[in-house]
């Protein structure tokens, strides 16, 4: 409190220009704050502010036109004091080293918050899968595994799907790894097709987790989900299933969006129809003419706002205009640190990304456990274990937020970093 409240649009623009939109630097700022708040010495921050290992690889691929193209890939392993590192592989033209590092740190925090026996990892390849053939994608997936095979494995570092990677890509990667090791290795990677050892409920896990977070946050705010007005930015894997679950829970999904625009209807959108029409990249608004912009969508009057698309969407320039009472970050990094402060001052309950989107890695953990046991669970069993772990995680973070008087993001970082810091200390590293 007591911060200057910026209200006019010119000032908002200036504030936004001054904001730090580098996700790695923002993450490091909050990690340091969390460790200091808990009384750890500066050397702990020195250890945890960067991944312990960062691998850069060059992957030559023979393209369909006969030319060879060299792709750059990364694998970051943030901290393996708790156990093997775990995290997805992203295929995207905008992948950067800093982004992969930040994403690996976020994975460590998610695993700490849900209390999984992992540290965080993340991978990425700079490429545009929308412009590649099936054969080229297979070659790139296999090439990546060959390039990183020395540092990954079921007890070292376990990859998973992320933006623009799916169960087919996981299947190719698992097959390549099994060939290199000369034995079947389903536990090397998660997010596989069910017939290759994938888990029931993995595809919808992130959205189910976000739904659980919304239910818990709504209880704290005294909001009934039945009839609550929900706005979802992004209609991909996370956003579209979430819209479906909200609709099934009796909430009114009044707006959704994709990269090209947003659809708004105060009476509630026909989610089943939109799900049926969206393409595999989460695009649906191109079929309509009466669209609004993503900027307008974020500022709509609603009870619950779920950014489920990309980074840096709620900033100092629009945080004052957000009308939702609860913001649940299904996407990674959608709200800047400055905007976090503004939302907190305005008494909007923010469920931060490292907590809100932890359903995916939790069911990935279940998949790995099932692979290690060779014994498979029903979807009901997966769902009930997921609910138990995520409700506990939400309450740990919420109680820390209240008892320590810190915002929800800092509270989540404090809960998330503690196990890693303790494990590093017991191992004698710090």
Q: Residue count at the site for ligand NAD (CB under 6 A)?
A: 23
Q: Is the Cβ of residue 259 or residue 292 nearer to ligand NAD in the bound state?
A: 259
Does residue 331 touch ligand NAD according to CB under 6 A?
Answer: yes
Distance CA 311, CA 195 (A): 34
How many DSSP H helices and E strands does the chain contain?
Answer: 15, 11
Distance CA 240, CA 11 (A): 35
Q: Strand runs (DSSP E) across 136-266, as ranges?
A: 157-161, 229-233, 252-258, 261-264
Stretch that binds ligand NAD, among 63-71, 126-134, 137-145, 227-235 (CB under 6 A): 227-235
Q: Closest approach of Cβ 308 to ligand NAD, in Å? A: 5
Of 122, 208, 244, 419, catalytic = 122
Q: Closest approach of Cβ 67 to ligand NAD, in Å? A: 28
Distance CA 423, CA 109 (A): 14
Considering only residues 342 to 361 of the shown chain, the ones binding ligand NAD according to CB under 6 A are 357, 360
Query: Do strands 53-62 and 68-77 pair parallel, antiparallel, or not at all (unpaired)?
Result: antiparallel
Question: Among residues 332, 335, 362, 396, which is the contact residue for ligand NAD, using CB under 6 A?
Answer: 332
Burial bucket for residue 52 (CB in 10 Å: 0-12, 13-18, 19+): middle
Question: Among residues 330, 339, 349, 382, which is the contact residue for ligand NAD, using CB under 6 A?
Answer: 330
Does residue 294 touch ligand NAD according to CB under 6 A?
Answer: yes
Which structure tokens are listed for 121?
């990892």
Does residue 237 touch ligand NAD according to CB under 6 A?
Answer: yes
Does residue 239 touch ligand NAD according to CB under 6 A?
Answer: yes
Tokens 């959108």 map to which residue? 269
Question: Among residues 77, 185, 206, 396, which is the contact residue for ligand NAD, using CB under 6 A?
Answer: 206
Closest CA to 37 of 419, 410, 370: 410
The set of residues, in sequence order, having a beta carbon less than 8 Å from that of 383 and lying 6+ positions away, is 201, 208
Q: Closest approach of Cβ 294 to ligand NAD, in Å? A: 5
Distance CA 61, CA 168 (A): 18
Does residue 259 touch ligand NAD according to CB under 6 A?
Answer: yes
208 is catalytic: no
Stretch that binds ligand NAD, among 42-50, 325-333, 339-347, 399-407 (CB under 6 A): 325-333
Tokens 């060299």 map to which residue? 70
Cα separation values, 392 from 15, 58, 212, 322, Å: 37, 42, 11, 28
Q: Closest approach of Cβ 212 to ligand NAD, in Å? A: 14
Question: Among residues 163, 169, 269, 421, which is the contact residue for ligand NAD, using CB under 6 A?
Answer: 163
Tokens 């960062």 map to which residue? 54
Question: Among residues 309, 322, 339, 415, which is the contact residue for ligand NAD, using CB under 6 A?
Answer: 309
Give the binding site for ligand NAD (CB under 6 A): 163, 206, 233-239, 257-259, 282-283, 294, 308-310, 330-332, 357, 360
């Amino acid at each position: 409190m007591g911060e200057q409240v910026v209200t006019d649009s010119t000032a908002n623009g200036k504030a936004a220009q001054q904001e730090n939109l580098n996700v790695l630097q923002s993450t490091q700022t909050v990690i340091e704050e969390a460790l200091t708040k808990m009384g750890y010495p500066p050397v702990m921050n020195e250890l945890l502010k960067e991944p312990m290992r960062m691998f850069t690889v060059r992957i030559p691929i023979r393209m369909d036109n006969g030319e060879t193209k060299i792709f750059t890939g990364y694998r970051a392993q943030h901290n393996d004091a708790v156990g093997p590192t775990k995290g997805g592989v992203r295929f995207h033209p905008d992948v950067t080293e800093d982004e992969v590092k930040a994403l690996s740190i976020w994975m460590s925090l998610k695993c700490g918050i849900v209390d999984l026996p992992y540290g965080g990892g993340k991978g990425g390849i700079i490429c545009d899968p929308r412009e590649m053939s099936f054969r080229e994608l297979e070659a790139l997936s296999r090439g990546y595994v060959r390039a990183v095979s020395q540092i990954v494995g079921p007890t070292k570092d376990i990859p998973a799907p992320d933006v623009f990677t799916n169960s087919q890509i996981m299947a190719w990667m698992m097959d390549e790894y099994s060939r290199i090791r000369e034995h079947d290795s389903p536990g090397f990677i998660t997010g596989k097709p069910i017939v290759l050892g994938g888990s029931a409920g993995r595809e919808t896990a992130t959205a189910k987790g976000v739904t659980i977070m919304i239910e818990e946050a709504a209880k704290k705010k005294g909001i009934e989900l039945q009839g609550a007005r929900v706005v979802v930015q992004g209609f991909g894997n996370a956003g579209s299933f979430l819209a479906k679950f909200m609709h099934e829970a009796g909430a009114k999904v009044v707006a959704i969006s994709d990269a090209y625009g947003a659809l708004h209807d105060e009476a509630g959108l026909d989610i089943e129809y939109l799900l049926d029409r969206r393409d595999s990249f989460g695009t649906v608004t191109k079929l309509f003419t009466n669209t609004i912009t993503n900027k307008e969508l974020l500022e709509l009057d609603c009870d619950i706002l779920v950014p489920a698309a990309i980074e840096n969407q709620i900033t100092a320039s629009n945080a004052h205009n957000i009308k939702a009472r609860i913001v649940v970050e299904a996407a990674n990094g959608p709200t800047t640190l400055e905007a976090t402060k503004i939302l907190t001052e305005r008494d909007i309950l923010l469920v931060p990304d490292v907590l809100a989107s932890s359903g995916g890695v939790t069911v990935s953990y279940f998949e790995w456990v099932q692979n290690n046991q060779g014994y498979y669970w029903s979807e009901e069993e997966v769902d009930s274990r997921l609910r138990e772990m995520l409700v506990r995680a939400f309450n740990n973070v919420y109680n820390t937020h209240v008892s320590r008087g810190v915002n929800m993001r800092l509270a989540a970082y404090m809960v998330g970093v503690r196990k890693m810091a303790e494990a590093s200390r017991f191992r004698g590293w710090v």
